[in-house]
Amino acid sequence: MRILCFVKAILDPEAPPGAIRFPGKVESGDVSTVLGPFEGNALELALQISEASAGSFTAVAMGDGAQDVALRKALALGAGRAARIDVATGFVDPLGAARRLESAAKELGGADVYIFGRQAGDWDMGVTAGLFAGLLDLPFVPLVQQAEVAGEGLRLRREIPGGYEESLRTGPIVLSVTNGPRTLMRLPKVKDVMLANRKPIDVLKPAEVGENLTLAEIAQAQVTRQSRMITGDAASQAAQLSAELRRFLVTGGGN
């Protein structure tokens, strides 16, 4: 099977609170750029399908040179080719992004399976895979947890509320991948990481597209609460917590 896997490098989502600031723009400080977590899940699935179908996959990213972190990771894991659509970093209308990915996919010769992570951890849009499927008029299966090659098709397990759904799909398809034990990205070998650093990354010219959405404002979100600490030894802490829980269960809550 021919596979295109779309990846994205983002500011480390595990950065401590306050490390990335948003005073009307994104100030990344010294936070490093890493492969997005769900893109890691997508790469793992791409790898599994390519291995099972004796095929290969191409990794595609969109952005400036910072995206090469994601592409090098894909190459180290076994991507046969890596390509970057050369656009500036910053907010991009998801429809415009999907149109550029569509153009790049055609330039790269198309695929049988197009794989995305379910949501990039920067703008948290979670819509690019669906938009891409709509533009190409291809079936779309979201939140895939597991995929097995079955003849010419794929047996897919996707997350649904309170469980999962399995089905067999044939023909070109777009998938978004979610996290789980079967999509946990394997670690590349050190030797493959070294080799990946010497492999070429194709740079593609972005398609000219219009935008339906523009960023009007970005601001810091306030999520901090005033935390009261329960201290003491384990028995004392448990007794205090028990009292809090009993009070909650009797009164129905409140601070």
Partner 1 sequence: MRSAVLARLLDLGETPAREAMGLMEALGGEMRSLILASSAQDAVAAVGDVHLGVHPALEDPDPEIAYLAAVRLIGDVPPDLLLLPEGPLFEMIGARLAGHFGMSAVRDVDEVTAESGAIILRKGAYGGKANVRLRASGGVVAGLRAGAFPAADPQPQTASIEDLGPLAEGGKERRTVRDTSGDDLGRAKVIVSGGRGLGSREGYESLRPFAALLGASLGASRAAVDEGWASPSQQVGITGRKVAPELYLAIGISGASQHLSGMSGSRTVIAVNRDEHAPIFEAADIGLVADWYQIWPHLQKALEG
| Contacts of partner 1 in 76-105 (CB under 8 A) | 91, 93-96, 98
Give the Cβ contact number of residue 86 at 10 Å.
14
Under the binding rule (CB under 8 A), the answer on residue 200 touching partner 1 is no
Under the binding rule (CB under 8 A), the answer on residue 234 touching partner 1 is yes
Q: What does the per-residue mask of binding to partner 1 show for 11-40, with x meaning CB under 8 A?
A: x-xx-xx--x-x---x----------xx--
Smaller CB separation from partner 1, 191 or 225: 225
> What is the spatial distance between Cα 211 and Cα 213, in angstroms, rounded to a whole number?
6
> What is the spatial distance between Cα 19 and Cα 171, in angstroms, rounded to a whole number?
45
Under the binding rule (CB under 8 A), the answer on residue 245 touching partner 1 is yes
Q: Give the H or E element holding residue 133.
A: helix 128-136
Under the binding rule (CB under 8 A), the answer on residue 215 touching partner 1 is yes
Q: Give the H or E element holding residue 173.
A: strand 173-177
Q: What does the per-residue mask of binding to partner 1 show for 180-199, with x meaning CB under 8 A?
A: xx--x---------------
Could you give the 3-state DSSP secondary structure of residue 166?
Answer: strand
Could you give the 3-state DSSP secondary structure of residue 148?
Answer: strand
Residues numbered 102 to 131 that lie near partner 1 (CB under 8 A) are 118-119, 121-131
Q: What does the per-residue mask of binding to partner 1 show for 36-75, with x meaning CB under 8 A?
A: -xx-------------------------------------
Q: How far is the CB of 140 from partner 1 (least distance, A)?
A: 5
Smaller CB separation from partner 1, 57 or 123: 123
Work out the angle between the directed axes of helices 128-136 and 94-107 (0-180°, nearest 10).
60
Are 36 and 179 contacting, i.e. CB atoms less than 8 angstroms apart? Answer: no
